[in-house]
Amino acid sequence: MEVFSKITDEGRFPDEGYRVNDTAKAYCRTILDVVSAHGVREVVCSPGSRNTPLLIAAAARAELHKHVVVDERCAAFMALGIAAASRKPVALVCTSGTALLNYAPAVAEAFYQGVPLIVITADRPSQWIDQDDSQTIRQEGAFANFIKRSYHIESVENPSEEDCWYVNRIVNDAMTEALSRRQGPVHINISLAPPLGKTIDIPRTAPRMIRLLEAEPMLSNQRMRELADYAAGKKILLIAGFMPPDNELNRAVAELASLPNVYVMAETISNLHLPGRNWNIDTMLSIMDTSDKDSLRPDIIISIGGALVSRMAKAYLRECTEAENWAVGYFHTTVDCFQSLTLRIEADRSAFLRRLARLMRRDSRPRRSAYSESWQKMAEKSMVSHSWFLKELPWCEMSALETLLNALPASANLYLSNGTAIRYAQLLMNGMPHACYCNRGVSGIDGCTSTAVGGAMTYGGLTVLVSGDMSFSYDCGALNIREIPDTMRIAVVKNGGGGIFRFIASTSALEQRERYFCADPEVPVEGLARAYGWRYLKASSMTELESALPSFFSAEAPKSILEIDCDGILSAEILKSYMSRNYLRQC
């Protein structure tokens, strides 16, 4: 009974019986009604002509909160940020032509993150495709390789009851697909013919809603006992990649981690809040010699979450050739990143790990293990050298970000651009913020700012983006989004372009590095901040940074951009020195 009442509440039609000035296109009314009935409350729209009926339909629905963003790439990443932070589906609406192609980077990121975006694109009638008509391309199936499912609707002027039944059915199917098991984006492409702006006065009526009741995602008691009995005598390393915050999962992992034969490596964007510094993975691995690694090799690797940031962790786990890998959760395919996958466990992660921990606790074998203690000693050893190294630093990216990240209010949501920003966070944070995000599904630099803006619009507290100057310049159109709240903060590390290319082995020694890879964008941070109405702060030394941070993080301050000016070449050399396995010997 509780399940049904919950479904009924979520599917409640808020405007039943009200008359509205709506689009005359019945299919567009159906699309917006069905997505609303399935829980969509945020719609990110971009202006256009062909999508006029969809925009009229969105405007007519008071239960939908509409955001208008001209740049479709910014719009899609903003929608991704809203959906990821709220953990609810968000709809996108755009016109025909290249507009929908600008959605592609965010749609791909949403697919690999498992975020439900409902992508609704207006199209030209099929007879005009490839006929030199303006804003006309082959839209059907445009996202086929990185979307859960695509749907195409050929609009008709006077649809029959069967036509309307068909559209209702496939939009219901799209919402079920987006929200079931491993969630993700879906694409609804609808061809629309003139007249596009015709409206009618019509009563709102609840659409037919097709609900899905999924079976409880758990293994049988017998199978759980078999797995727990097998794992009880083994050394277990749990590795956690990116995931949304989840209190229940956090408690389950903590319960498993309390066993002496289990150690947890959790990246910052796993959003696991555990005792200790489990996210300082590279700090620890960088000081370990061959004998250390051999002694700490696990028998079982339990992997949860998405892709890892740490290349050192991936390299180490691939060296553990005798280990088994159990991947727990829902996946779009067989993911064998560590080349040792033996079990795909399609189950709710929290329930599985909690039951595994409780069943293993009844066994005496885990209590005799010193596996977790050995890892903890290695972690403590690594922090001695870490502290020593930071104490000797001049002004550089590492010293600046260590100061900034550890002054971050605990209640803040932290967003990190791809490149060195996410890597520094893995190394330097002393504690976890409220939540931590980075677009690591595809790991592109496009859309980092827009994603953070979407997150800031969803979260009531402080939202802080730490970005490199290349990522910032790539997505500076996000600064023009109208609804950015005053709780938004952006720290831009201005280091002369893509600092990651001065660090990674494939490009760091190339003579073409600075021009072709780092490609200094010479981004006018101050000019952009002032042009778009942001408060501007700058730090070119530790004294200036420490002076700026209280104001930067102040809850009373308006939206702000802090430019942190560092020598990129020096900073890269310092980071390489830190990551060298030999630096501990200098302590």
Task: State residue 581's pLDDT score.
Answer: 52
> How far apart, in Å, do the first and last CA atoms of the chain sit?
64
Encode burial over 144-181: b for 16+ CB neighbours within 10 A, e otherwise.
Answer: eebbbbbbbbebeeebeeebbeebbebbbbbbbbbbeb
DSSP state of 129: T
| pLDDT, position 584 | 40
pLDDT at 393 (0 to 100): 93
pLDDT of res. 16: 64
From the number of C-beta atoms within 10 Å of its C-beta (0-12, 13-18, 19+), residue 522 rates as exposed
- Identify the CA nearest to 43 among candidates 231, 142, 188: 188
Q: State the pTM of this model.
A: 0.93
Same fold, 2-203 and 393-581: yes
Cα 550 to Cα 554: distance, rounded to the nearest angstrom: 6
Q: Is the dihedral of CA 314, 318, 324, 327 positive or negative?
A: positive
CB-side exposure of 370: number of CA atoms within 13 Å?
Answer: 4
Specify the amino acid at residue 579. M
CA distance 36 to 89: 10
**CA separation for the pair 123, 154 (Å, rounded):** 9
- pLDDT tens digit at each of 587 positions of the chain: 333 333 334 555 555 667 899 999 999 999 999 999 999 999 999 999 999 999 999 999 999 999 999 999 999 999 999 999 999 999 999 999 899 999 999 999 999 999 999 999 999 888 878 777 778 778 899 999 999 999 999 988 889 999 999 999 999 999 999 999 899 999 999 999 999 999 999 998 899 999 988 777 778 899 999 999 999 999 999 999 999 999 999 999 999 999 999 999 999 999 999 987 788 899 999 999 999 999 999 999 999 999 999 999 999 999 999 999 999 999 889 999 999 999 999 999 999 999 999 999 999 898 899 999 999 999 999 999 899 999 989 999 999 999 999 999 999 999 999 988 999 999 999 889 999 999 999 999 999 999 999 999 999 999 999 999 999 999 999 999 989 999 999 999 999 888 888 988 889 889 999 998 888 889 999 999 999 999 999 999 999 999 999 999 999 999 999 999 999 999 999 999 898 854 443 43
pLDDT of residue 6: 36
Residue 151, beta-bridge partner list: 188
User: How far apart, in Å, are the Cα atoms of 560 and each of 222, 468, 532?
Assistant: 56, 16, 11
Q: Which two tokens stand for residue 36?
A: 């609303």
pLDDT at residue 585 in the model: 39
pLDDT, tens digit, 9 for 90 and up, residues 495-549? 988 888 898 888 988 999 999 888 888 999 999 999 999 999 999 999 999 999 9
Cβ proximity of 168 and 207 under 8 Å: yes
Residue with tokens 């949860």, as numbered in its chain: 304
Identify the architecture of domain 2-203 in CATH. 3-Layer(aba) Sandwich (3.40)
Token representation of residue 183:
């969630």
In terms of DSSP bridges, do strands 117-123 and 186-191 run parallel, antiparallel, or are they unpaired?
A: parallel
Rounded Cα distance between 465 and 315, Å, is: 29
221-380 belongs to which CATH class?
A: alpha beta
**102 DSSP assignment:** G
Q: Hey, where are the domains in the chain?
A: 2-203, 221-380, 393-581
Q: Which CATH class is domain 393-581?
A: alpha beta
- Distances 450 to 270, 307, 458, 471 between C-alpha atoms, Å: 21, 21, 13, 11
What pLDDT, on the 0 to 100 scale, is given for residue 470? 93
**446, two tokens:** 């496009």
Strands 199-203 and 19-23: what pairing?
A: antiparallel
Q: Is 263:257 a contact under the CB 8 Å cutoff? A: yes
Buried b (16+ CB within 10 A) or exposed e, 10-40: eeeeebeeeebebbbbbbbbbbbbbbbbbeb
- Helices H / strands E in the chain, number of each: 20, 19
- Token pair for 1: 């009974």
